[in-house]
Amino acid sequence: MGEARDYQRLEFLGDRVLGLAIAEWLHEQSEAAEGKLSQRLNVLVSRETCADVARKLGVAGHIRLGKQARGDGAGQSDNVLGDVMEALIGALFLERGFDAARSFVRKAWEPAMAGGAGQRKHPKAALQEWAAGNRRKPPVYTLLERSGPDHAAVFTVQVEVAGVGSEQATGSSKQEAERGAAAAFMARYG
């Protein structure tokens, strides 16, 4: 079977290459201010977007997982798919250089870029602004439950704005669950 391998170093490198490729692309495509560019960048390089791209490319079928991880659904986890996508970009950068990595990113991320990913406010930022604008205390996020194994964890989070109400959501990361709870809150009360 050979030596054990770990993709985390490639993931670290791929994350930076992806960030640079997307930042350069946004700079070319838009005259927006730095804050708007940063907002889009953060969404386009997020774990969720990386996982979505990996799903569209069929990456899950090529990931080597142990029996337990397969049984737990790790191959469809945003965490696993996002990390593997970043590792693939890192490997492409090392093997073929930045031009090839940039070309791949532009092709694979084209639907997200064209679809305007990140042009709307992040749900947590929107909720924070809504609370302040309505003279309410800031939203409070509470982790209600964490279940499942580390590679396929499920988080349940509640967000509450005192005197208004609360909403819950689940996700494959605490941040994803918080984002979902904020979006659900805004849909109901915003």
Q: Is 160 considered catalytic here?
A: no
Residue identified by tokens 């669950």 is 177
Q: Which of 146, 135, 140 is nearest to 182 (CA)?
A: 140
Instruction: Indicate if 150 belongs to the active site.
Output: no
Structural contact between residues 26 and 43, judged by C-beta atoms closer than 8 angstroms: no
The packing angle between helices 123-133 and 174-189, to 10°, is: 40
3-state secondary structure of 42: helix
For residue 11, with 0-12 CB atoms within 10 Å meaning exposed, 13-18 middle and 19 or more buried, which class applies?
Answer: buried
Which token pair is 153? 């964890």
N-to-C CA span, the chain: 55
Identify the active-site residue in 86, 167, 176, 178: 86
Per-residue H/E/C for 152-176: HCEEEEEEEECCCEEEEEEECCHHH
Q: Which of 15, 72, 78, 167 is catalytic?
A: 15
Q: Which residues are catalytic?
A: 15, 86
